Every structure is written in structure tokens, then in C-alpha cells.
Chain A
Amino acid sequence: MMLAMLLIAAILVYALLTGLSRRERAKVGLTNEVLEYTDDSTEPAPTLRSDRYGLVGRPDQLAHVGTALVPVEQKPRARRLQQSHILQVAAQCLLVQEVYGVRPPYGVVVLAGGSRRQIDFSPQLERRLLDTMSRMRAMLGADKPPEPVWMRDAGKCRPCGFRETCWGQRPAD
């Protein structure tokens, strides 16, 4: 009788912990992943390095999905997904693949309010990342700075205080 009561109490505690865990996981942006590392001051996530690609990075969290590790990047102030977020997570996926030898099926970006975006680490995205990296290196190695690019879609150039510096007296539209 005593054992049965203890068993019932243990099941109730387990149910309570499951509810708490689900709530905490939602705040981090996890669904079915098992958290492996988190980048906090007491227990930092490992810094991932690849000499082959000349990349260094440290995801905010690393989570297990089956045998693969998935990088999780927190962007708590971003309301929407930006191309830079996608490429950052792609770079982290490439680093995870290089360091752990298993290709992550996807990476995760968690936006403001815990809104989760899953980024498939497809061969196309990997090619785009490598292409962007080689263009960045070409820019950094060039003698003169690159020409300005009008950021119409992101709405960045129109309100920018340096608009005339980039575009002259009659700014582009």
C-alpha cells in the first residue's frame, strides 16, 4: 500500500516536471530536440573551428536530434527572419558537420517571443554559403571598398543618415 502511494506520488511529480520542462523548452525554442550544450557563463558551448573552410563559430545552443547535432541561434530582438540569420545558421551547420562528422539536417533560429524558424541545411544552402564566403573574402582582399548596394527590400537605405554619402545629392529610389 505504501509503495503504491509512493508510486502515485512519483507519477504526479513526473507529470509536473514534464509540464515545467515543456514550458522551459518552448522558451528556448526547442520541440523534439534534446539540449546538449548551451552557451552560458558557467557552462559554455564549445567553439567550433574548421581550418578547411576558415570558419570559427559558437552556436547559442547545440541540440541532439537522433544521431545528429543541430545548432540553435537565438535572435530575441528580431521580429522576422533575415538572410544573415539563415547564412549564420548555415555556417554553424557546416561547422557542426566538420567538427562532429555528422551533417545536421537543419538549424534553428529563435526570434522574438520564442518564435521558432527551422532552416533546412540543404546542399543548395551550403553552396550559397560557400559562394557568399568566397565573395566576402574577395571583398576583404580587394584594394578598394565595394560599391554601395541599395537595400530597397530591407528598407535600410531610405532612412539611413549616411544616405547622401553613399548615393550623392539625388539619392537612388
Chain B
Amino acid sequence: MLDNGIREHRRIATHAVQVRALRRVRGTVLLLIVVLLAGVAVQILNSGDLLPT
């Protein structure tokens, strides 16, 4: 009975650790998206498509 309770708590703790890890990875991917967006914007600007000639 007690063992089951401990096992359940460990299982939930594992999910909680995954929640924190996923949050960190999502933050990194979001940063990457921002950098890539900036890169794409610079490319578009350099190509002259958006600038008046």
C-alpha cells in the first residue's frame, strides 16, 4: 500500500521533471525561432524586394 503510494509519487515527480525540461527546451527553440525570423527579415531586406527602388 505504502509502496504503491511512493511509486505513484515518483511517477508524478518524473512527469514534473519532464515539464521543467520541456519548458527549458521550448525556451531555446523559441529563441532559435526569433533568431531565424530576424535572419529571414534581413535576407528579405537585402534582396531589395521590400525597398522602394
- Kindly provide the distance from the CB of B38 to the nearest chain A CB, expressed in whole angstroms: 10
**Chain B contact surface mostly:** helix
12 new A-B contacts at CB < 8 Å, known A14-B26, A17-B26, A41-B10: A4-B40, A13-B29, A14-B30, A17-B29, A25-B19, A28-B19, A38-B13, A38-B17, A40-B17, A60-B9, A74-B8, A76-B5
A residues with a Cβ closer than 8 A to B are 3-4, 6-7, 10-11, 13-14, 17-18, 20-21, 24-25, 27-28, 30, 34-35, 38-43, 60-61, 74, 76-77, 110
- Kindly provide the distance from the CB of A19 to the nearest chain B CB, expressed in whole angstroms: 10
Q: Take A3-B40, A60-B9 as given contacts and tell me if A17 and B16 are in contact as well, using a CB distance cutoff of 8 Å.
A: no
Can you list 19 contacts pairing A with B, beta carbon distance less than 8 Å? A7-B40, A10-B33, A11-B33, A14-B30, A17-B25, A21-B26, A24-B18, A24-B19, A28-B15, A30-B19, A35-B19, A35-B23, A40-B13, A40-B17, A61-B16, A76-B5, A76-B8, A77-B5, A110-B12
- Cα A10 to Cα B16 in complex, Å, equals 24
Measured CB to CB, the nearest residue on chain B to A27 is B15
- Cα A94 to Cα B30 in complex, Å, equals 36
Instruction: Enumerate chain A residues within 8 angstroms of B14, measured Cβ to Cβ.
Output: 40
- Cα A60 to Cα B12 in complex, Å, equals 9
Q: Looking at the complex, which one of A6, A11, A35, A77 makes contact with B16 (CB distance below 8 Å)?
A: A35
Instruction: Enumerate chain A residues within 8 angstroms of B19, measured Cβ to Cβ.
Output: 21, 24-25, 28, 30, 35, 38
